Amino acid sequence: MGSASCKKRKQSLDRRRGKTRIYVGNHIDRWLTLKEKLDFRNDAEVAGFLLDLIVTVKEEREMPPHCSSVETDNTLVIPRGSFCMFYI
């Protein structure tokens, strides 16, 4: 009986974990490089950083030009329809 309950628990955990997975495909090397450069401990930190970055860029693009806090030497440009690519 213990074996069946262990199997059921494992399946439940696998289902939960599967709901939080994000497929990065052939961008895995870039993902891991960014994770290492930023010294993040886990993938959730990388994902949170990228989400925060996109929100910040979007908010700054929506500001009138005289209110923007982005300097011309560190402006982040994201081509429409492409994955965000930047250098740290």
Report the chain (88 residues): mean pLDDT per 10 consecutive residues.
83 84 91 95 93 88 62 52 47
Say if pTM beats, i.e. exceeds, 0.75: no
CB within 8 A of 68, min separation 6: which ones? 60
Check if the beta carbon of residue 82 is closer than 8 Å to that of residue 71. no
Structural domains counted in the chain: 1
The whole-number pLDDT of residue 67 equals 52
The whole-number pLDDT of residue 81 equals 46
**Considering the domain boundaries, does residue 17 fall inside one?**
yes
**Considering the domain boundaries, does residue 40 fall inside one?**
yes
What is the span of the domain harbouring residue 29? 11-60
The whole-number pLDDT of residue 88 equals 44
To the nearest 10°, report the CA torsion of 65, 88, 51, 62: 0
